[in-house]
Amino acid sequence: MSTKGKHPRADQGTDPFEEKLQRLKEAFNTGKTKTAKFRAEQLQSLGRFLQDNSKQLHDALDGDLGKSGFESDMSEIILCENEVDLALKNLQTWMKDEPVSTNLLTKLSTAFIRKEPFGLVLIIAPWNYPVNLMIIPLVGAIAAGNCVVLKPSEISKNTEKVLAELLPQYLDQSCFAVMLGGPEETGQLLEHKFDYIFFTGSPRVGKIVMTAAAKHLTPITLELGGKNPCYVDDNCDPQTVANRVAWFRYFNAGQTCVAPDYILCSQEMQEQLVPALQNAITRFYGDNPQTSPNLGRIINQKHFKRLQGLLGCGRVAIGGQSDEGERYIAPTVLVDVQETEPVMQEEIFGPILPLVTVRSLDEAIEFMNQREKPLALYAYSNNAEVIKQVLARTSSGGFCGNDGFMYMTLSSLPFGGVASPEHSDAQRSPYSLPFRFPRAVPRRQ
Ligand code: NAD
């Protein structure tokens, strides 16, 4: 028997993915996923999965991250349901050919853009919003007519189990599959050729995924993390700013890719912000945040230890307590932090907020521009000119003046870092991407 064209390990029986991937590719080639009827049925069924298994999903998110019901609804399940509704409502419009203008030479012809699915799409998700970041790209991929392999994070293991055991019962299993594994298995999966890869996770693993995709010239979306600056001007109401910053920093115990990572402000503003942040923390989580049902937990021991190490930076002004048994880190504010300290070198991804003092708006802008372009950037001021200046003189995937990541609830806005194809292609033919296509204009132009 010829072994030509087969993955070498397939013949040794050690490649767990080969056969299943082949079947998914064959299903795509039948054209089954391309009809509007099929897409709508799968989307409706996905909506039913979310409704029927709401309790299982809530329990899993609580088990993995100590998420409260409110946080799970607001940042995971309702967002997914809305995405399903949005896709169902717009499916017919999105599938239509888009007429384009002709020129003198082609006056008698018609020209149009036809939006075609890529084929077999791989979606790799992280653990911090393990339902949202798996299901929302899946909605786009189904609506665009693709077959899909879903690879949930092995770290959020309770959610992984629900997705692996229950989701396939709702989807056409010849076209959609959940495949499990950690770094080694995902590496093995990535050796295969996909038609599109949608990866959400860390920049470190993003490089591994991009290298693997390059071997097959596979187009890719990388949704990565980083440090999101938050500038607070002297002209503001410190309590209002503190309420908003605290809410978005400590949501999901700080494990949010678009959370404000650090504050830049003057020494005088730091002195006003610290008591205001203390007020906000007490108001949200009570006198002892460890007993609050509204504060989540760190995902695992490795991240807990990493965060515990960061508590030694600068000076603890608020919080600083931790409990390894519960993977609890108190909502913490660090002051007098130097930019050379570890907490300012890496994405914090936990309930710790460092304050770095600057002497002026110019210095703050220079500080932000010396670093990687962030996924999100925030500015607070009562002076609209200050907000406009920060917006005009910096670059980031998303920007919000006088609020946190509330803009994420707007499906009319695109999402991603500065290099994300959702930004660059948003004006062109967003539907040609398998995901979240109709987000019209990039926030920053
Ligand atoms: P991660 O990069 O460690 O893991 C993401 C996925 O990659 C997981 O499914 C994991 O199994 C897989 N993986 C891990 N190591 C691998 C390897 N060596 N080879 C192949 N695959 C591998 O990220 P994480 O820790 O799960 O998530 C946190 C990161 O995700 C943070 O940096 C955060 O900012 C980022 N994030 C970004 C967004 C966004 O929308 N931009 C959203 C959420 C999280």
Question: For the segment 247-278, what is each residue's pLDDT rounded down to a tens digit?
Answer: 999 999 999 999 999 999 999 999 999 999 99
| Ligand 1, atom nearest to 223 Cα | 41
Ligand 1 centroid from CA 127, angstroms:
7
| Ligand 1, atom nearest to 226 Cα | 34
As a whole number of angstroms, the distance between CA 195 and CA 265 comes to 46
Tens-digit pLDDT profile for residues 286-317? 999 999 999 999 999 999 999 999 999 999 99
Contacts of 435 (CB under 8 A, 6+ apart): 136, 137, 140, 141, 144, 198, 221, 422
243 close to ligand 1 (CB < 6 Angstrom): no
As a whole number of angstroms, the distance between CA 10 and CA 409 comes to 44
Task: Write the CA distances from 10 to 63, 188, 409, 442, integer angstroms.
Answer: 36, 12, 44, 44
Last residue within a domain, chosen from 191, 223, 255? 223
Q: For residue 126, tell me if it sits in a domain.
A: yes
Is pLDDT at 342 greater than 80 in this prediction? yes
Element (H, E) at 111: strand 111-113
| Ligand 1, atom nearest to 125 Cα | 9
Same domain, 182 and 125: yes
Last residue within a domain, chosen from 181, 205, 223? 223
Ligand 1 centroid from CA 107, angstroms:
50
| Ligand 1, atom nearest to 203 Cα | 32
Give the lowest-confidence range in 97-106, 147-156, 294-303, 317-326.
97-106
395 close to ligand 1 (CB < 6 Angstrom): no
What range does the domain containing 56 cover?
18-223
Q: Find the CATH number of the domain harbouring 121.
A: 3.40.605.10
205 close to ligand 1 (CB < 6 Angstrom): yes
* Numbers of helices and strands, H then E, in the chain: 16, 16
Terminal CA-CA length for the chain: 57
State the alpha helices, DSSP H only, in 149-300. Answer: 157-166, 183-190, 203-215, 238-250, 267-285
Q: For residue 3, tell me if it sits in a domain.
A: no
CB 66 within 8 A of CB 297: yes
Q: For residue 6, tell me if it sits in a domain.
A: no
Is 257 part of the annotated catalytic residue set?
yes
Tens-digit pLDDT profile for residues 51-74? 999 999 999 999 999 999 999 999
Banded pLDDT at 109 (limits 50, 70, 90) = confident
Q: Whose CA is nearest to atom 33 of ligand 1?
A: 225
Banded pLDDT at 13 (limits 50, 70, 90) = low
Q: Which of 257, 265, 313, 400 is catalytic?
A: 257
Ligand 1 centroid from CA 202, angstroms:
4
Q: For residue 82, tell me if it sits in a domain.
A: yes
